[in-house]
Amino acid sequence: MTHPFETVSDTDLARFVAENPVAWIVPAADPADAFLMPLLLETDAGGAPASLLGHLPRHGPLTERMKENPAATCLFLGPHSYIPPGWISKPGWAPTWNFVSLKASGRIVPDDRLTDEAIRALVAHMESASGWNVEQVGARYETLLRGVIGFRMRIDRLTPRFKTGQDETETSRAEIHAALQGHALQSWMR
């Protein structure tokens, strides 16, 4: 049986990663070499999460670990908030923490053939409103590419945890929602 915090639609998973693309990439070979990097979620024809597209620093401990053992877990953390008892009218209610997060596991194999694609896709995603693109960097773009290496991680296991008050009464959930006015977590409470 799936826990209610882990029942998340493919559409919401895609939205979550699009809004929160920075993740800890944690290599199985040595978790101490974990590194924060932006990642893009790719979906299959049916909209289900299929892979993560990203890049790594070309030289460094994380990239070396990926070459030794490509198993890794990517940890995304989105909006989160402490929920104090003062927000809830229910007597005896204890504080909690609400959040949206995602774990994705698979194999990261650095691949030069994916470097340009990964950077262009990331820039297109992040600069969609501005229209800025890598061509505006000019000749320096090729120099910058030499410092990174792309990858595509097929997702072998995906574990969302969206704790947004599903375990609360309707009244308590409405009180939390109202108290989070203007907070990014509020949009995840449906």
Please tell me the predicted confidence (pLDDT) of residue 1.
46
Domain 4-111+152-185 top-level CATH class: mainly beta
Please tell me the predicted confidence (pLDDT) of residue 65.
87
Please tell me the predicted confidence (pLDDT) of residue 8.
84
Query: What is the 3-class SS of the chain, one letter each residue?
Result: CCCHHHCCCHHHHHHHHHHCCEEEEEECCCHHHCEEEEEEEEECCCCCEEEEEEEEECCCHHHHHHHHCCEEEEEEEEEEEEECHHHCCCCCCCCEEEEEEEEEEEECCCCHHHHHHHHHHHHHHHCCCCCCCHHHHCCHHHHHHCCEEEEEEEEEEEEEEEECCCCCCHHHHHHHHHHCCCCHHHHHCC
Contact call for residues 69 and 61 (beta carbons, < 8 A): no
Please tell me the predicted confidence (pLDDT) of residue 2.
62
Please tell me the predicted confidence (pLDDT) of residue 111.
95
pLDDT along the chain (190 residues), means of 10: 76 95 95 95 96 95 90 97 95 93 96 96 93 89 94 97 91 95 92
pLDDT per position as a tens digit, 23-66: 999 999 999 999 999 999 999 999 999 999 999 999 988 898 89
The first and second tokens of residue 136, run together, are: 């505006």
